[in-house]
Amino acid sequence: STEIPAYMTKCPSNGLCRRLPPDCMTCNTNYSCVYGKPATFDCKVKPHVHCVDETNHEQENFTVNMTCQFCWQLATTDYVCTNSTNCMTVSCPRQRYNATCTVRDHIHCLGNRVFPKMLYCNWTGGYKWSTALALSITLGGFGADRFYLGQWREGLGKLFSFGGLGIWTLIDVLLIGVGYVGPADGSLYI
C-alpha cells in the first residue's frame, strides 16, 4: 500500500533519532523507573520514518533519556489545555472546569499524551483592580465603580440612592478592596 500514515506529518526526515517527536517512535515503557529521576528508554522508529545518529548513519533502534513521570504529572509549561469561557473566576470556592490537555511534541513522558485535567478558571476581561478601587473611593456614591465592573443594575441603584446614603459606598470600598466584588463577566482582575 502506498498510503502514508498520519503520524508522518509530524516526523522530519533524516533528523536525529533521539530528537524525533514521540509520535514518530515506539518506546519500551520502563514502569520500574524511579519517579522524578532520569531514565533511559529503548526506542524504535515507526515504519516509513528515517532518522540518523550523531555520526549521520541511518538508525532504527536508539535510546531516549527523559525524566520518569507520567504525562499528567508534567509541569504546566509542557502541555497545552483547552480553555473554558463560561466559568466564573470570582466565586468562592474558586470554580474549576474540565479541560483536555495535550503534551507538547518535544516532550517525552509515560502514559497517554492526551489527558483530562481539572483547571481553575483563570481569565481576565481587562478590568483593573486598582481602577475599580479608585472609582469606588472617589465616585462610588454615584455608582461609577459598579458601572466600570459591568454591574449596571447595582450602579443605577447606587446612583439614584446617592450610594445608599454613603453606607453602600463604604461597604463597596471594602468589598472591592478585598476582591470579593469583581467584574460582572466573572473574570479576574488584571
Residue with cell 483547552: 82
Cβ pair 41, 27 in contact under 8 A: yes
pLDDT of res. 88? 63
Q: What is the pLDDT of residue 123?
A: 66
Q: Residue 59: its pLDDT value, please? A: 86
Instruction: Output the pLDDT for position 143.
Output: 94
Cβ 6 vs Cβ 51: under 8 Å: no
pLDDT of residue 90: 59
Tell me if 30 sits within 8 A of 71, measured CB to CB.
Answer: no
Closest by CA position to 110, among listed 7, 182, 169, 22: 22
pLDDT attached to residue 114: 93
Low-confidence ranges of the chain (pLDDT < 70): 1-2, 85, 87-94, 123
d(CA 187, CA 190): 9
Single pTM value for the model:
0.56
Half-sphere exposure (CA, 13 Å, Cβ side) for 47?
6
Looking at residue 185, what is its pLDDT?
76
